[in-house]
Structure 1
């Protein structure tokens, strides 16, 4: 167990960034004007995940602005993937709490103080998240609320509650607060799911560390007093992107289900994943017969169910590919 030292800060805000030079000024301006943080010792960490734009220069300029308010630190993480950027942030953070924000999340003025207060009031919480509202460039399609959680929009009302981690009902990795010590003690240093990479569809990197935290006995909470605004550009509401997102979210389902699963249970989970999603596919096809080509939201859901049904086979194929790669690398 890692011991806290006198040098530990109250909270670190960690921002993984990839080509975020145009987005980072907005979020840094929001953090510069946070309220209720006068008595907090805190810092901001930018983890640059191999950006090819001028992210570094932007951070250098803001380091001058932030001088005297809080520390703004920059790190380059060469291993591609959001999961590796988050792991780097955890290694570098000096805060007892780590508040993750993506570079397209805009926090409300009291977001940081509400995040810190919730941690004090809920000592058994290993992680917590709040309300994430959509900030849309264009109006979303009809019935978009059915799939908005896939775009990290969470509006679950004004009452706090525990997330149902056993059924993969969890908050996204953005606008998430974790206890640094809890993460370090329970989350492996090498993730199974890396996040979006060229040629890799599978998602799930947000949920993997949370499942390790949950199975270690820590609670994961929804805190409605924390508000952030997720900027959704036009292209994220287009058909091709949404269907790719649906497939990526579905293909990780079996792999996430294996976390904390004993070997003898794996064949059962394998069969349940296939049959359970086959049932959903058939039911969905009957309900939306003749509408799937014209109803984007129903098509998204069908794509997710199909990918979830295929996720056990995707997992086996990926493991076989890794095994062959390691064999020929020897």
Structure 2
């Protein structure tokens, strides 16, 4: 049996060659305004760096007064997800906050998240809003594609019909930003007990930008019965180096998003259309017909051509739908297999939850 963690916040930082980025990130953490009764810690996981990140991170933390313990670990297996798995296992407290090595939390971030999660035990994942900071002035086109950099308010919705959520509340459509994301350890424990296996490795170094693990975690937590919430008062600054502010970098991000679509669609089908049985071929045929009609509509084609002819960088965003259509065909077998795998995990989690509830009732 996996025992519950005590109340508190474990800040999880995974880094690859992040020595230069870590200093301001840790300085902002050291300035956190946390109530005397709120326990917290920092866990720093090195994912195969070659720049002495752990030692430099510890030196920076000591220089800033070591307000709480900072524990360091090495995960030599490449991939952010592998580093996070280790951090989840080592976390001492019930609320975990995933902080990238280029995220600067506002001073009340941890306390605000702790307070809300303590009051609302149905929340499995909690996210906030981000703003950008830049090594060099951002290009003029940045504002039009800022969301692919996880800057601004996330596109999350609530209610029926869905309305964009800009105040504190439950998310019914979409997922919050992965940067600064809180996750309840109980939700993670239930996922692992249900044999959850991520379909992603996460970002690997600087060469492979494949992401999707943040969205996957949100969808998985929702599938096992927890809620996703948005709290705009949770604010952080996402720092970007000049190498990420080029027209060569943007297509790489968009391409990585297109590659994640097929895997995430297994979760989306179970979250948003649970009554449709995708173990049957006809369900996939109908989806393919719908995606084809939407992708190649006259309106979409005209918009894409106009943006492309103008040289507007937004044509890359419009073009993502064509990658998505292509990946639907190429990844069909894998997507169907993933759907069945995720559905089995969800069913195991439901059975575990029922068994746990029955045991609690029997103990009363």
TM-score tier by shorter-chain length is 0.7 to 0.9
Match among 15, 36, 53 for residue 55 of structure 1: 53
Matched, 1:304 2:320: yes
Q: Tell me the equivalent position of 1:131.
A: 129
Q: Tell me the equivalent position of 2:201.
A: 194
Shift of residue 173 of structure 1?
Answer: 2.1
CA contact (8 A) 2:30 2:66 kept: no
Q: Tell me the equivalent position of 2:187.
A: 182
Relative to the length of structure 2, the TM-score reads 0.77
Alignment of 1:116-265 (within 5 A): 116-136=114-134, 137-142=136-141, 144-155=142-153, 159-165=167-173, 169-186=174-191, 188=195, 190-197=197-204, 202-259=210-267, 260=270, 263-264=278-279
Q: Deviations over 1:231-282 (max 9, x none)?
A: 1223223122111111111221121111347552576346525742652354
Instruction: Give the direction of change, closer, same or farther, for the CA distance of 1:95–1:274 in structure 2 (3 Å limit).
Output: farther
Tell me which moved more, 299-308 or 28-37.
299-308
CA contact (8 A) 1:162 1:220 kept: yes
Shift of residue 183 of structure 1?
Answer: 1.1
Q: Tell me the equivalent position of 1:12.
A: 10
Instruction: Give the direction of change, closer, same or farther, for the CA distance of 1:257–1:37 in structure 2 (3 Å limit).
Output: same
Instruction: Give the direction of change, closer, same or farther, for the CA distance of 1:28–1:181 in structure 2 (3 Å limit).
Output: same
What secondary structure sits across from 1:207 in the alignment? helix
Shift of residue 174 of structure 1?
Answer: 1.5
Shift of residue 210 of structure 1?
Answer: 1.3
What secondary structure sits across from 1:132 in the alignment? strand
Match among 109, 127, 131 for residue 111 of structure 1: 109
Instruction: Give the direction of change, closer, same or farther, for the CA distance of 1:224–1:151 in structure 2 (3 Å limit).
Output: same
Instruction: Give the direction of change, closer, same or farther, for the CA distance of 1:270–1:311 in structure 2 (3 Å limit).
Output: farther
What secondary structure sits across from 2:95 in the alignment? strand
Tell me which moved more, 284-293 or 106-115.
284-293
In structure 1, C-alpha distance between the alignment counterparts of 2:330 and 2:211, rounded to whole Å: 12
What secondary structure sits across from 1:26 in the alignment? helix
Instruction: Give the direction of change, closer, same or farther, for the CA distance of 1:273–1:178 in structure 2 (3 Å limit).
Output: farther
In structure 1, C-alpha distance between the alignment counterparts of 2:31 and 2:256, rounded to whole Å: 36
Relative to the length of structure 1, the TM-score reads 0.85
Instruction: Give the direction of change, closer, same or farther, for the CA distance of 1:227–1:277 in structure 2 (3 Å limit).
Output: farther
Q: How many residues align?
A: 313
